[in-house]
């Protein structure tokens, strides 16, 4: 995302621009776009419902197509004014104030190859199996245009399928950014189609490892409840019966071990809904440890595990959800052979397990 400064003949907040402004017709929500030279600005009158919100949060909701990170960076680059004055991302807004926001430049849809190390578990002339590290986004999306798995793949491999479009070369299925583990990538369109059919027909066996932030009493069970879009948080999913966005979802889990109020579990999702395992485990009162969206905490310290407030035990052990795609089994589209690939548990999860096993 470009962070250009305003042109010299534009003085934001003064009410005088020195150049001709052209604006779109005012919308019903008191929002309009104004072009000043090569820059596009969005003028917004703050509604009553937004009183007390941070300006970066409000603009993230008001400006589709941009992440909160992009919005924050634009504000920090003096890209927003409130009643004519530049502000910080944290400033609170009030009803009827006027925001002028410089719209960030669009990011190219093309995948940019980047020399990023990959842990390749298997490769042949038709497909690649990778152990994705935590923190890596699978394909470019708003707020995450670089450092993606597709960028790493595009740099390393000469040919990848283009069935998924220019931003998703080779991508047959996805893992959440902070979920580590096995993911299969198609080199050719034929392989891509065959693998996609196996996923759609539920012929692919997926096994995950998770640590939950609560004790699960049942040794094993099936969670079979539909999942749909959260009613008011756009980045979350939720259990939703009889809703337009709801889809059937089924997850089998089996307890590996219990440690105080924490549980290690083996999870086999039968379907592949967005955030399925995270939502289902949260539904039974055992959200995944360190799941920012569904468990309400974004890091795990030693003190949290031991239940003490000793400052010496505040060492951070984990900063992402404790979820790992451990195994993936599918039929090779060319040979017809059933193949199973396994990714070892990463170091951050092993640190947590080591501490959990020391609990009484």
Segment (H or E) for 263? strand 262-269
Instruction: Provide DSSP, 119-162.
Output: -EEEE-SSEEEEEEPTT--SS-BTTB-SS-HHHHHHHH-S----
* 221 a catalytic residue: no
Tell me the Cα Rg of the chain.
24
Among residues 43, 176, 178, 348, the one annotated as catalytic is: 176
Q: Where on the phi/psi map is residue 191: left (φ > 0), alpha (ψ -120 to 50), or beta?
A: alpha
Segment (H or E) for 193? helix 189-200
Q: How far is CA 291 from the centre of its chain?
A: 12
Active site residues: 176
């Amino acid at each position: 995302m470009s962070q250009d400064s305003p042109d010299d003949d534009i003085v934001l907040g003064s009410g005088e621009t020195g150049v001709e402004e052209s604006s779109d017709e005012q919308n019903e929500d008191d929002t309009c776009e104004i072009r000043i030279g090569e820059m596009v600005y969005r003028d917004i009158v703050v509604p009553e419902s937004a009183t007390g919100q941070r300006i970066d949060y409000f603009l993230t909701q008001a400006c589709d197509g941009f992440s909160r990170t992009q919005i924050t960076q634009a504000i920090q680059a003096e890209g927003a004014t409130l009643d004519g004055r530049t502000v910080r991302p944290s400033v609170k807004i009030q009803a009827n104030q006027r925001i002028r926001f410089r719209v960030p430049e669009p990011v190219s849809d093309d995948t940019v190859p980047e020399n990023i190390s990959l842990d390749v578990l298997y490769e042949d002339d038709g497909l690649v199996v990778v152990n994705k590290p935590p923190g890596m986004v699978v394909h470019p999306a708003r707020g995450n245009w670089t450092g993606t798995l597709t960028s790493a793949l595009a740099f390393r491999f000469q040919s990848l399928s283009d069935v998924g479009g220019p931003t998703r070369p080779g991508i047959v299925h996805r893992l959440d950014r902070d979920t580590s583990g096995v993911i299969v990538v198609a080199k050719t369109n034929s392989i891509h189609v065959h693998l996609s059919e196996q996923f759609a027909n539920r012929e692919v066996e997926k096994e995950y490892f998770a640590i939950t932030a609560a004790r699960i009493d049942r040794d094993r069970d099936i969670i079979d409840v539909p999942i749909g879009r959260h009613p008011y948080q756009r980045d979350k999913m939720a259990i939703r019966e009889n809703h337009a966005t709801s889809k059937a979802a089924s997850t089998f889990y089996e307890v590996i071990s219990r440690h105080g109020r924490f549980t290690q579990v083996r999870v086999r999702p039968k379907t592949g809904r967005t955030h399925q395992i995270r939502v289902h485990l949260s539904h039974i009162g055992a959200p995944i440890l360190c799941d920012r969206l569904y468990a309400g905490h974004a890091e795990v310290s030693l003190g949290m595990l031991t239940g003490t407030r000793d400052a010496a035990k505040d060492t951070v052990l984990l900063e992402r959800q404790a979820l790992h795609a451990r195994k993936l089994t599918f039929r090779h589209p060319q040979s017809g052979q059933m193949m199973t690939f396994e990714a070892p548990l990463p170091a951050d999860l092993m640190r947590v397990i080591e501490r959990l096993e020391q609990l009484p």
